[in-house]
Amino acid sequence: MKHWIERNSKTRLHRLNTRQRKKYHLGEFRETGFHAAVRFQHALSDIELSQWLDDLVTWIEANGLMIGGFGGSTGLEETSGYVVCETGSATDAHREAFAAWSKTHPLVASAECEPLSDAWYDDQAC
């Protein structure tokens, strides 16, 4: 696995052809996303959790994004997940919009978004 340590090194990218860079999501085909965490005003009931998830999915789909995580069960006080773009990469504008939408939701006390990171190889920050 040593050859994966420096995924985006110029030497490695130079050795890969366009098809390989696309297959491995490297170089110009790299995709980014961000981790987000949401803390609620209080522990959510089933109905409140369902309403928040419906609102979240509606907003995510309207903005051309996809999510992973953000689940839980009754009594949920906080949740987190990963947000990516349907096509291409998530941007800082997506991060700011997600944080702003989350903070305006009546059930949310606070929301934080981490910096953009590589969506395929999570160990590399952008």
For 118, how many CA atoms within 13 A lie in the half-sphere containing its CB? 15
- Over residues 47-83, the pLDDT tens digits come to 999 999 999 999 999 999 999 999 887 788 999 999 9
| DSSP 8-state assignment for residue 16 | S
Q: Are 42 and 77 in contact (CB under 8 A)?
A: yes
Q: What is the pLDDT of residue 2?
A: 47
| Encoded amino acid at 111, one letter | A
Dihedral sign of CA atoms 101, 68, 121, 20 in order: negative
- Model pTM score: 0.81
Look at residues 55, 49, 57, 112 and name the one whose alpha carbon lies nearest to residue 80: 112
The 3-state DSSP class for residue 76 equals strand
Phi-psi region at 66: left, alpha or beta (left = phi > 0; alpha = psi -120 to 50): beta
- Domains of the chain, each with CATH number or no CATH: 1-28 (no CATH), 31-118 (3.30.70.100)
Burial grade of 83 (CB within 10 A; 0-12, 13-18, 19 or more): buried
With a cut of 80, say whether residue 112 has pLDDT above it. Answer: yes
Looking at the chain, how many residues does it have?
126
Look at residues 73, 71, 79, 80 and name the one whose alpha carbon lies nearest to residue 33: 80
Q: What is the pLDDT of residue 7?
A: 62
Q: What is the pLDDT of residue 8?
A: 66
Work out the average pLDDT over 17-24.
Answer: 83
